[in-house]
Amino acid sequence: MARIPRTDRGFSLTELMLTVALIATMAGMAMPVLMDMSDSIKLNEAARIVERELQDARLKAVSSNRVLRVRTNCPATGYLRIVEVLGTAADTAADRCIATTYPYPPADEDIVTRPNFDGPVRKLTNDATVGSAVIQFSPDGTSINVVGGVPVAITTPVTITITRRGQSKAVTINGIGKVQLQ
């Protein structure tokens, strides 16, 4: 007697369950890697915000012929702001980073009244924190570290550390104003 070929096609329940188990196992192994990659991307984004703010302050200082400072953790942890140096006690005042006291854009458009070059208060994204620092940029593009309200020449690069969930990135600034993301 001749054997009739089987025409049923498809997967058995056992084959289907094995395939689903294999896919679930592979997805379970990939998830931590994807989470680590996501954390790294978020840290890099926060570090780029700090680096861009420093670059922007340097460019604005040169183009406006004004002395500008970048203050980190201003008014609170995880914030930063570009402020114009006025040569008064306001330069080191704690309220200098409060947007209602020193608004952005300035309340008037008169170039004679100052400050005119304060930037907006920026918040680092994704719960990142930044080390405390005040970096001053001169109209010639050079930079100075301000420690306790006193400008100190930068002889070795100043490092600002950005941290998120135990990982960190660094931004360095040297005396000639070069800003580098490490």
65-70 contact pairs (CB < 8 A, 24+):
65/139, 66/117, 66/139, 67/136, 67/137, 67/138, 67/139, 68/117, 68/136, 68/137, 69/134, 69/135, 69/136, 69/137, 69/146, 70/133, 70/134, 70/135, 70/137
Using alpha carbons, select from 64, 82, 66 the residue that is nearest to residue 74.
82
| Domain locations along the chain | 32-181
> 141-179, pLDDT tens digit by residue?
999 999 988 999 999 999 999 999 889 999 999 999 999
- Residues 71 and 85 sit within 8 Å (Cβ to Cβ): no
- By CB atoms closer than 10 A (0-12, 13-18, 19+), residue 144 is buried
* CA–CA distance, 85 with 70 (Å, rounded to integer): 10
Instruction: Return the structure tokens found at 106.
Output: 């300035």
Q: Which residue has the higher pLDDT, 9 or 77?
A: 77
What pTM value is reported for the model? Answer: 0.78
Coil, helix or strand at residue 98: coil
Q: What is the pLDDT of residues 50-87, one digit of tens each?
A: 999 999 999 999 999 999 999 999 888 999 999 999 88
The class of domain 32-181 in CATH terms is: alpha beta
HSE, side-chain direction, 13 A CA sphere, residue 4: 2
Q: What is the end-to-end Cα distance of the chain in Å, rounded?
A: 79
